[in-house]
Amino acid sequence: MANPPREISERDRELSRLMGRSQVGDGAAYEVVLNETAVMLKRYLYRRVADEGAREDVLQEILLSVHKARHTFDPNLSYKTWLFSIARFRLIDYYRKSNRQRSREISQDSFEDFFTQEEGAERETDRLDPEVLLKALDALPPAQKEAVDRLKYREQSVREAAEAMGRTESSVKVLAHRGYKALRKVLLKRGEGE
């Protein structure tokens, strides 16, 4: 059931009218609507998305959604209500995606900490035999080996390694993490054995 018509501002009414004209193919009206929409969205997203790049992505995503859903707009209703319903939906989508991604990723710092701890332990015991390490590295699956090699020995950044390997940054981090874990296991086993 439609909302009862509520008081809408003059500018909102004007945007509704322009959007109505856009629906019949008026490009000039559409340009005004999109430019004003982009400015409103920029303000809306400013406090809601901290990362500047992500904010720009979300803004563009919402503009695309507005374009895609323009046939659902009713010029008798508020343009802003329609627009911000879409904006909120896309923003929630973005939050969900970034939360999911964050929960899957292990930060670069934690890798570094892990490796530093490992190195520290090895230095302490002074048992790090390069041959053993090379053997352990060789035993790793090729992708893990390459990730560890690029990040740790060639001292490439995650982005550089990802580009060189043709993978995403998250995937490289995960590969390296698994590689470190496997190496640690081998080295600890060896330590216990001695």
Partner 1 sequence: MNPQTPLSEGTERLTRQLVLQLKPVERFKIWSHLWPYAAVGCAVVVSSAFFVGLRPGLAEAALALPFVLETLLLAGLALLFGYWSLGLGIPGRSRSPGRLTLLALSLMGIWLLFIGSRALVARDGWFDVTSAAYVSLPCVFELVVVGALPVVFLRQRVRALAPTAPGKTFFLVTAAGLFFGAFALQLTCPMDTSGHLFVWHFLPLFALAAVAVLLGKRFLKW
- The three state secondary structure string of the chain is CCCCCCCCCHHHHHHHHHHHHHHCCCHHHHHHHHHHHHHHHHHHHHCCCCCHHHHHHHHHHHHHHHHHCHHHCCCCCCHHHHHHHHHHHHHHHHHHHHHHHHHHCCCHHHHHHHHHHHHHHHHHHCCCCHHHHHHHHHHCCHHHHHHHHHHHHCCCCHHHHHHHHCCCHHHHHHHHHHHHHHHHHHHHHHHHHC
- Among residues 8, 13, 69, 105, the one that binds partner 1 under rule CB under 8 A: 69
Rounded to a whole number of angstroms, the minimum distance from the CB of residue 11 to partner 1 is 17
Say whether residue 95 binds partner 1 (CB under 8 A): no
Identify which of residues 33 and 187 has a Cβ nearer to partner 1 in the complex: 33
Binding mask 17-56 for partner 1 (x = CB under 8 A): -----xxxx-x--xx--xx--xx--xx--x-----x--xx
Rounded to a whole number of angstroms, the minimum distance from the CB of residue 85 to partner 1 is 4
Rounded to a whole number of angstroms, the minimum distance from the CB of residue 73 to partner 1 is 8
Q: Tell me the HSE value of 103 on the side-chain side, using a 13 A CA sphere.
A: 5
Rounded to a whole number of angstroms, the minimum distance from the CB of residue 16 to partner 1 is 12
> Distance between CA atoms of 104 and 162, rounded to whole angstroms?
17
Rounded to a whole number of angstroms, the minimum distance from the CB of residue 101 to partner 1 is 16
Rounded to a whole number of angstroms, the minimum distance from the CB of residue 95 to partner 1 is 14
- Among residues 11, 67, 102, 123, the one that binds partner 1 under rule CB under 8 A: 67
Identify which of residues 60 and 116 has a Cβ nearer to partner 1 in the complex: 60
Please give the residue ranges that form the binding site for partner 1 (CB under 8 A): 1-3, 22-25, 27, 30-31, 34-35, 38-39, 42-43, 46, 52, 55-56, 59-60, 63-65, 67-74, 77-78, 81-86, 88-89
